[in-house]
Amino acid sequence: MKSSYRVSYRDNVTHSPNKLRIHASDSSKLYYFHKSEGKMRFFIDGALTELNPGEVIYVKKGSFTGTLKKSKAAYARCVSLFPEGLAAFLSTADTDTAQLLSDSAVFRLDEDGIREYESIISSLDKEVRGVKAVELIMRQLLVLRSQECKKLDGPPNDSLTAKILNKLDEESLLLGSAAEIASALGYSQNYLSKFFKQKMNISLHDFLIAKKLFIALQMLTSGKSVTETAYTCGFSGTSHFISVFRAHYGKTPRQYVKEIVEN
Protein backbone atom coordinates (compact mmCIF):
# COMPACT_ATOMS: atom_id res chain seq x y z
CA MET A 1 0.00 0.00 0.00
CA LYS A 2 0.99 3.65 -0.28
CA SER A 3 2.85 5.36 2.53
CA SER A 4 0.48 5.72 5.51
CA TYR A 5 1.36 9.41 5.85
CA ARG A 6 1.54 11.77 2.90
CA VAL A 7 0.99 15.50 2.39
CA SER A 8 0.81 16.82 -1.15
CA TYR A 9 0.28 20.28 -2.59
CA ARG A 10 -0.86 21.16 -6.10
CA ASP A 11 -1.26 24.57 -7.66
CA ASN A 12 -3.22 25.43 -10.81
CA VAL A 13 -5.56 22.43 -10.52
CA THR A 14 -8.38 22.47 -13.07
CA HIS A 15 -11.46 20.37 -13.81
CA SER A 16 -13.90 20.21 -16.68
CA PRO A 17 -16.84 22.46 -15.71
CA ASN A 18 -19.83 20.69 -14.16
CA LYS A 19 -18.21 17.26 -14.51
CA LEU A 20 -18.12 15.08 -11.41
CA ARG A 21 -15.85 12.04 -11.22
CA ILE A 22 -15.74 10.18 -7.92
CA HIS A 23 -13.42 7.65 -6.32
CA ALA A 24 -13.28 5.79 -3.02
CA SER A 25 -10.85 7.16 -0.45
CA ASP A 26 -8.27 4.53 0.54
CA SER A 27 -7.33 6.35 3.78
CA SER A 28 -8.44 9.19 6.02
CA LYS A 29 -7.83 12.53 4.28
CA LEU A 30 -7.84 16.25 4.88
CA TYR A 31 -8.55 18.54 1.92
CA TYR A 32 -7.78 22.25 2.02
CA PHE A 33 -8.74 24.28 -1.06
CA HIS A 34 -7.60 27.84 -1.61
CA LYS A 35 -6.81 30.38 -4.33
CA SER A 36 -10.10 29.34 -5.90
CA GLU A 37 -12.23 31.47 -8.20
CA GLY A 38 -15.83 30.53 -8.77
CA LYS A 39 -18.06 28.21 -6.79
CA MET A 40 -16.76 24.78 -5.83
CA ARG A 41 -18.69 21.86 -4.42
CA PHE A 42 -17.34 18.69 -2.86
CA PHE A 43 -19.10 15.31 -3.17
CA ILE A 44 -19.04 12.92 -0.21
CA ASP A 45 -21.17 9.77 -0.20
CA GLY A 46 -24.06 11.30 -2.12
CA ALA A 47 -24.05 14.76 -0.55
CA LEU A 48 -22.78 17.87 -2.37
CA THR A 49 -21.33 20.50 -0.03
CA GLU A 50 -20.54 24.00 -1.23
CA LEU A 51 -17.08 25.08 -0.12
CA ASN A 52 -16.17 28.50 1.21
CA PRO A 53 -12.73 30.09 1.72
CA GLY A 54 -11.05 28.90 4.90
CA GLU A 55 -12.66 25.47 5.10
CA VAL A 56 -11.01 22.08 5.56
CA ILE A 57 -12.82 18.87 4.65
CA TYR A 58 -12.14 15.66 6.56
CA VAL A 59 -12.92 12.51 4.58
CA LYS A 60 -13.29 9.19 6.34
CA LYS A 61 -11.62 6.11 4.85
CA GLY A 62 -13.91 4.33 2.37
CA SER A 63 -15.97 7.43 1.54
CA PHE A 64 -16.72 8.20 -2.11
CA THR A 65 -15.56 11.72 -2.98
CA GLY A 66 -15.18 14.10 -5.89
CA THR A 67 -14.89 17.80 -6.76
CA LEU A 68 -17.39 19.76 -8.86
CA LYS A 69 -16.66 23.22 -10.27
CA LYS A 70 -18.85 25.44 -12.43
CA SER A 71 -15.90 26.92 -14.31
CA LYS A 72 -12.39 26.02 -15.50
CA ALA A 73 -10.85 28.50 -13.05
CA ALA A 74 -7.75 26.97 -11.45
CA TYR A 75 -7.33 26.47 -7.72
CA ALA A 76 -4.74 25.14 -5.27
CA ARG A 77 -5.21 22.32 -2.80
CA CYS A 78 -3.40 20.51 -0.03
CA VAL A 79 -4.29 16.85 0.57
CA SER A 80 -3.11 14.99 3.69
CA LEU A 81 -3.41 11.20 4.06
CA PHE A 82 -3.13 9.41 7.38
CA PRO A 83 -4.34 6.25 9.19
CA GLU A 84 -7.41 6.57 11.41
CA GLY A 85 -5.43 5.64 14.54
CA LEU A 86 -3.62 9.00 14.49
CA ALA A 87 -6.78 10.80 15.65
CA ALA A 88 -7.01 8.57 18.73
CA PHE A 89 -3.33 9.15 19.47
CA LEU A 90 -3.91 12.91 19.61
CA SER A 91 -6.96 12.67 21.89
CA THR A 92 -6.70 14.18 25.36
CA ALA A 93 -8.92 14.35 28.44
CA ASP A 94 -10.21 17.70 27.16
CA THR A 95 -10.52 16.99 23.43
CA ASP A 96 -11.55 13.66 21.91
CA THR A 97 -9.97 13.97 18.47
CA ALA A 98 -11.09 10.47 17.51
CA GLN A 99 -14.73 11.43 18.17
CA LEU A 100 -14.25 14.68 16.29
CA LEU A 101 -13.11 12.69 13.24
CA SER A 102 -15.59 9.83 13.60
CA ASP A 103 -17.45 10.97 10.45
CA SER A 104 -16.70 13.10 7.43
CA ALA A 105 -16.92 16.77 8.33
CA VAL A 106 -16.20 20.36 7.30
CA PHE A 107 -14.09 22.56 9.57
CA ARG A 108 -14.64 26.30 9.29
CA LEU A 109 -11.32 27.99 10.13
CA ASP A 110 -11.28 31.33 11.92
CA GLU A 111 -8.65 33.96 11.03
CA ASP A 112 -6.08 32.49 13.41
CA GLY A 113 -6.81 28.98 12.11
CA ILE A 114 -6.32 30.08 8.51
CA ARG A 115 -2.98 31.70 9.34
CA GLU A 116 -1.80 28.59 11.19
CA TYR A 117 -2.95 26.23 8.44
CA GLU A 118 -1.37 28.35 5.70
CA SER A 119 1.92 28.44 7.61
CA ILE A 120 1.89 24.65 7.88
CA ILE A 121 1.59 24.11 4.12
CA SER A 122 3.67 27.14 3.05
CA SER A 123 6.88 25.09 3.08
CA LEU A 124 5.44 22.42 0.80
CA ASP A 125 6.83 22.26 -2.71
CA LYS A 126 4.94 19.24 -4.02
CA GLU A 127 4.82 16.25 -1.69
CA VAL A 128 6.32 14.91 1.53
CA ARG A 129 6.08 11.47 3.14
CA GLY A 130 7.21 9.69 6.26
CA VAL A 131 8.32 11.59 9.38
CA LYS A 132 7.93 15.05 7.84
CA ALA A 133 4.39 14.20 6.72
CA VAL A 134 3.51 12.93 10.21
CA GLU A 135 4.69 16.22 11.70
CA LEU A 136 2.64 18.32 9.27
CA ILE A 137 -0.51 16.22 9.67
CA MET A 138 -0.32 16.32 13.46
CA ARG A 139 -0.01 20.10 13.32
CA GLN A 140 -3.05 20.28 11.00
CA LEU A 141 -5.14 18.11 13.34
CA LEU A 142 -4.14 20.19 16.34
CA VAL A 143 -5.38 23.31 14.54
CA LEU A 144 -8.70 21.65 13.67
CA ARG A 145 -9.40 20.65 17.27
CA SER A 146 -10.22 24.27 18.17
CA GLN A 147 -12.24 25.09 15.04
CA GLU A 148 -15.95 25.03 14.26
CA CYS A 149 -16.94 21.58 12.97
CA LYS A 150 -19.98 20.58 10.94
CA LYS A 151 -20.69 16.89 10.40
CA LEU A 152 -21.72 16.02 6.85
CA ASP A 153 -24.82 14.08 5.93
CA GLY A 154 -24.23 10.49 4.92
CA PRO A 155 -26.02 8.67 2.09
CA PRO A 156 -29.81 9.09 1.95
CA ASN A 157 -31.50 6.65 4.34
CA ASP A 158 -34.66 5.86 2.39
CA SER A 159 -35.35 2.17 1.78
CA LEU A 160 -34.78 2.08 -1.99
CA THR A 161 -31.43 3.90 -1.85
CA ALA A 162 -30.37 1.49 0.91
CA LYS A 163 -31.38 -1.47 -1.28
CA ILE A 164 -29.33 -0.14 -4.19
CA LEU A 165 -26.24 0.51 -2.05
CA ASN A 166 -26.56 -2.90 -0.38
CA LYS A 167 -26.83 -4.59 -3.77
CA LEU A 168 -23.71 -2.77 -4.94
CA ASP A 169 -21.85 -3.78 -1.79
CA GLU A 170 -22.82 -7.42 -2.25
CA GLU A 171 -22.55 -7.84 -6.01
CA SER A 172 -20.67 -4.93 -7.59
CA LEU A 173 -18.28 -7.36 -9.30
CA LEU A 174 -21.14 -9.36 -10.82
CA LEU A 175 -23.25 -6.42 -11.98
CA GLY A 176 -21.96 -4.97 -15.23
CA SER A 177 -24.36 -2.08 -15.80
CA ALA A 178 -27.15 0.07 -14.42
CA ALA A 179 -29.57 -2.09 -16.40
CA GLU A 180 -28.44 -5.22 -14.56
CA ILE A 181 -28.79 -3.49 -11.19
CA ALA A 182 -32.30 -2.35 -12.07
CA SER A 183 -33.26 -5.84 -13.25
CA ALA A 184 -31.87 -7.44 -10.07
CA LEU A 185 -34.01 -5.11 -7.94
CA GLY A 186 -37.13 -5.39 -10.11
CA TYR A 187 -37.19 -1.82 -11.46
CA SER A 188 -36.86 -0.30 -14.91
CA GLN A 189 -33.42 1.10 -15.73
CA ASN A 190 -34.89 4.51 -16.55
CA TYR A 191 -36.71 4.81 -13.21
CA LEU A 192 -33.88 3.53 -11.05
CA SER A 193 -31.23 5.64 -12.79
CA LYS A 194 -33.26 8.84 -12.37
CA PHE A 195 -34.05 7.98 -8.76
CA PHE A 196 -30.39 7.30 -7.90
CA LYS A 197 -29.13 10.48 -9.59
CA GLN A 198 -31.72 12.54 -7.70
CA LYS A 199 -30.78 11.01 -4.35
CA MET A 200 -27.01 10.60 -4.72
CA ASN A 201 -26.05 13.46 -7.08
CA ILE A 202 -24.25 11.05 -9.40
CA SER A 203 -25.33 8.54 -12.01
CA LEU A 204 -25.80 4.91 -11.05
CA HIS A 205 -23.34 3.89 -13.77
CA ASP A 206 -20.59 6.21 -12.52
CA PHE A 207 -21.09 5.04 -8.93
CA LEU A 208 -20.84 1.40 -10.02
CA ILE A 209 -17.57 2.13 -11.87
CA ALA A 210 -16.16 3.84 -8.76
CA LYS A 211 -17.02 0.77 -6.67
CA LYS A 212 -15.36 -1.54 -9.19
CA LEU A 213 -12.20 0.58 -9.34
CA PHE A 214 -11.93 0.64 -5.56
CA ILE A 215 -12.00 -3.17 -5.51
CA ALA A 216 -9.57 -3.23 -8.43
CA LEU A 217 -7.09 -1.10 -6.48
CA GLN A 218 -7.22 -3.53 -3.58
CA MET A 219 -6.59 -6.46 -5.94
CA LEU A 220 -3.70 -4.76 -7.75
CA THR A 221 -1.95 -3.75 -4.54
CA SER A 222 -2.28 -7.31 -3.22
CA GLY A 223 -0.36 -8.65 -6.22
CA LYS A 224 -3.10 -9.63 -8.67
CA SER A 225 -2.35 -9.15 -12.36
CA VAL A 226 -3.99 -6.45 -14.47
CA THR A 227 -5.72 -9.10 -16.60
CA GLU A 228 -7.13 -11.04 -13.63
CA THR A 229 -8.24 -7.81 -11.98
CA ALA A 230 -9.96 -6.57 -15.15
CA TYR A 231 -12.06 -9.70 -15.62
CA THR A 232 -12.76 -10.25 -11.92
CA CYS A 233 -14.11 -6.70 -11.64
CA GLY A 234 -16.43 -7.19 -14.58
CA PHE A 235 -14.71 -5.13 -17.28
CA SER A 236 -15.08 -6.32 -20.86
CA GLY A 237 -11.32 -6.72 -21.26
CA THR A 238 -7.90 -5.51 -20.23
CA SER A 239 -7.90 -2.56 -22.63
CA HIS A 240 -11.28 -1.37 -21.37
CA PHE A 241 -10.12 -1.63 -17.76
CA ILE A 242 -6.87 0.26 -18.41
CA SER A 243 -8.76 3.02 -20.24
CA VAL A 244 -11.27 3.51 -17.41
CA PHE A 245 -8.55 3.29 -14.75
CA ARG A 246 -6.39 5.92 -16.48
CA ALA A 247 -9.39 8.26 -16.84
CA HIS A 248 -9.99 8.13 -13.08
CA TYR A 249 -6.44 8.02 -11.68
CA GLY A 250 -4.35 9.69 -14.37
CA LYS A 251 -2.08 6.67 -14.87
CA THR A 252 -2.25 3.05 -15.94
CA PRO A 253 -2.70 0.24 -13.38
CA ARG A 254 0.95 -0.82 -13.77
CA GLN A 255 2.18 2.76 -13.28
CA TYR A 256 0.00 3.07 -10.19
CA VAL A 257 1.30 -0.16 -8.66
CA LYS A 258 4.90 0.74 -9.51
CA GLU A 259 4.52 4.03 -7.64
CA ILE A 260 3.17 2.15 -4.60
CA VAL A 261 6.04 -0.33 -4.62
CA GLU A 262 8.64 2.43 -4.90
CA ASN A 263 7.14 4.27 -1.95
pTM: 0.76
Residue 2 confidence (pLDDT): 46
d(CA 28, CA 141): 12
Task: Grade residue 62 by pLDDT with cuts at 50, 70 and 90.
Answer: confident
Q: What is the pLDDT of residues 248-262, one digit of tens each?
A: 888 899 988 887 666
Q: What is the pLDDT of residues 125-136, one digit of tens each?
A: 788 888 888 888
Task: Grade residue 186 by pLDDT with cuts at 50, 70 and 90.
Answer: very high
Q: Which residue has the higher pLDDT, 186 or 37?
A: 186
Taking each helix axis as running N to C, give the angle between helix 178-185 and helix 189-200, from 0 to 180 degrees, rounded to the nearest 10: 100
Q: Which residue has the higher pLDDT, 91 or 44?
A: 44
d(CA 72, CA 119): 27
Q: Where are the domains of the chain?
A: 6-151, 159-262
The region that residue 186 occupies, defined by phi over 0 for left and psi between -120 and 50 for alpha, beta otherwise, is: left
Task: Grade residue 241 by pLDDT with cuts at 50, 70 and 90.
Answer: very high
CA distances from 223 to 4, 237, 251 (A): 19, 19, 18
Q: What kind of architecture, by CATH, is found in domain 6-151?
A: Sandwich (2.60)
Q: Which fold has domain 159-262?
A: Arc Repressor Mutant, subunit A (1.10.10)
Whether 6-151 and 159-262 share one fold: the answer is no
d(CA 42, CA 59): 11
| Whole-number CA gyration radius for the chain | 19
Alpha helices in the chain (DSSP H): 85-89, 97-100, 111-121, 130-144, 159-171, 178-185, 189-200, 204-221, 226-232, 238-249, 253-262
Q: List, in sequence order, every residue forming a beta bridge with 82; answer none if it has no partner.
A: 28
Compute the C-alpha angle 170/172/178, nearest 5°.
Answer: 120
Helices first, then strands: H and E counts in the chain = 11, 11
d(CA 229, CA 215): 9
Q: Does residue 23 contact residue 214 with C-beta atoms inside 8 Å?
A: yes
